[in-house]
Chains A and B, each alone.
Chain A
Amino acid sequence: MKPLDDAALSRLREAVLEPDLSATRYRLISVAGKGGMGTVYVAEDSVLSRRVALKVLEPMRAPDPFLRREAQVLARLEHPGIVPVHDAGELPDGRRWYAMKLVQGERLDHALRRKLGLGERLRIFRQVCETVAFAHAQGVLHRDLKPQNVMLGPFGEVLLLDWGLALLGTDGDDGARVGTEGFRAPEARGDARADVYSLGAILGQMRPLPPALEAIARKATATLDARYPSAAALADDIDRFVEGDAVTAVPEGPFRKIARMLSRHRVAAGIVAAYVLGRGLLFFLTGR
């Protein structure tokens, strides 16, 4: 056999990695990207004539328990913020795959490089919190929340991707130290509050933020005892900020409360102030 040159080496790598889909209804179109657990391909569903995202899980990229879980997790979570799974199976070489809706959009980390308004940033963050809260209610921890795993669709959709490291409540704590540096909670063993920490780190990536939101991000990434107990509690504090109410992350004294009330009801406060000023002026000029 002649020596393998660089081009042959590259083709052999492709040949070994490319999934054999001949026994399925899917036809490979292109590589969409590589995730933590495997490679995502764009494929054509020959029965329904539509494009799907087909994820092939690579044993060399993750220990076996993680490979079995992702499709099961996604199938369990039916939510507008989670990409639905259409189909799943096994390649002739034993690799597992599953097909899901093809989401074409922009990753949050890329979107944040542009100048998104505060309202848009909060809308996105609020939806991510809601999706995570839903997953927690179903007994699923994501464990790898980060802007790279949030996809923004062209019609305002906010989708949470890559559930490959997710943990089902029925699994018990596997003790694995998973996630991404910078977004991973410092505690060794995680529960739902580990995801809350990651959400706080995501909020921190959305700077610049007003002081109340900075305080919310700090509280979400605080030590376990001081942290929000759930993603829902974090989302509630975001709602309070949006509504102009006091957030639990900022202890409020009487002066601060008055200032916030005045700021929140600017028009009414202006009318009252104008009335009081007018009456005062009238009293000063007429003595009545």
Chain B
Amino acid sequence: MDEPLVRAFPVTRRSALEAARSADSAERARGLRTVSEAYWRPVYGYLRLHWKKQHEDAADLTQEFFAQLVDKDLLGRFDPAKARLRTFLRVCIDGLVANQARAANRQKRRAHAFDFEAARVALGGREAAASPDAEFEKEWSRAVFAMALERLRDRCQREGKEQHFALLEAYDLGDRPSYAALAERFGIAVTDVTNRLAWSRRELRASVFEVLGELTSSDEELREEARALLEPE
């Protein structure tokens, strides 16, 4: 496969799923960190909306869920040929909740530093209207984009391209002001706005595919996840 296509669709991925199942503890920790970063909000939202859990309970169960991913090697049982990872995780959550009564006396686990308060606030107002499954998908989309944006911001800081990222933030995360308005605000030429924005968008795309590549274990799965993320029905 030639180099440009690799950029468009990275095939050499560091799969977080495989890393999470690795015997090497550092590699396993890296994999679990990526998986939990992408999925903790969808899991929390699903517990709130589908299982009608209160905030505290949903936060505890989310922690418990990611602890069990390690303890019970749940990811080891995942078969991408049979289901999407998101579907598999929802089944695991359902199992966790079903066993909740039996584990009522369990010790609360705080292995991950998730910002549940922010998630609670973000979910507020959507609770009544949202379908739990659709919300799970949407939260996953938000998480993947957020991870890709964070990586791009880090890279821009490292390479002295803060303005490139600021332009993307102002335009695509803002309310799409005109290029002329952005040029005036940043004190640069309109052509610089166009070029820097084009660079940021291109690198955001690469970053999104990098994150998706880590969350999947085959080209076919990556292709399906990319379509689910970028062209949802």
Chain A interface residues toward B at CB < 8 A: 1-4, 6, 8-9, 11-18, 20, 22, 34, 59-61, 63-64, 67, 90-95
Contact = CB atoms under 8 A, between A and B. Distances in A.
B8 A15 contact: no
Interface in B101-159: 118, 122, 138, 141-142, 145-146, 149-150, 153
Contacts of B138: 6, 9
Interface stretch (B12-20, B59-67, B85-93, B200-208): B200-208
Contacts of B6: 94
A15 B174 CA distance: 12
Contacts, number: 84
Interface of B: 1, 3-9, 118, 122, 138, 141-142, 145-146, 149-150, 153, 168, 172-173, 176, 194-195, 198, 201-202, 204-206, 208, 219, 222-223, 226-227, 229-231
A93 B206 contact: yes
Contact of B195 (A15, A22, A61, A95): A22
A12 B173 contact: yes
A18 to B, nearest CB: 7
Which of A3, A59, A60 has the most C-beta atoms of chain B within 10 angstroms of its own C-beta? A60
Contact of A16 (B122, B146, B198, B204): B204
Contact of A90 (B4, B118, B206): B4
16 contacts: A1-B153, A2-B173, A3-B142, A9-B138, A11-B173, A13-B229, A16-B230, A20-B198, A20-B201, A60-B9, A60-B223, A93-B202, A93-B206, A94-B4, A94-B5, A94-B7
A4 B41 CA distance: 12
Contacts of A2: 173
A50 B142 CA distance: 39
B176 A11 contact: yes
B170 to A, nearest CB: 12
Given A11-B176, A16-B230, A93-B8, 4 more contacts: A9-B141, A12-B145, A15-B168, A60-B222
Which of B5, B222, B229 has the most C-beta atoms of chain A within 10 angstroms of its own C-beta? B5
Contacts of A18: 201
Contacts of A63: 219, 223
A24 B118 CA distance: 44
Q: 10 tightest A-B contacts by CB?
A: A94-B8, A59-B9, A60-B226, A94-B4, A94-B7, A15-B172, A16-B205, A20-B198, A15-B201, A3-B122
Which of B138, B145, B219 has the most C-beta atoms of chain A within 10 angstroms of its own C-beta? B145
Contacts of B219: 63
A6 B122 CA distance: 11
Contacts of B205: 16, 93
Given A8-B173, A20-B198, A59 B5 contact: yes
Contacts of A60: 9, 222-223, 226-227, 230
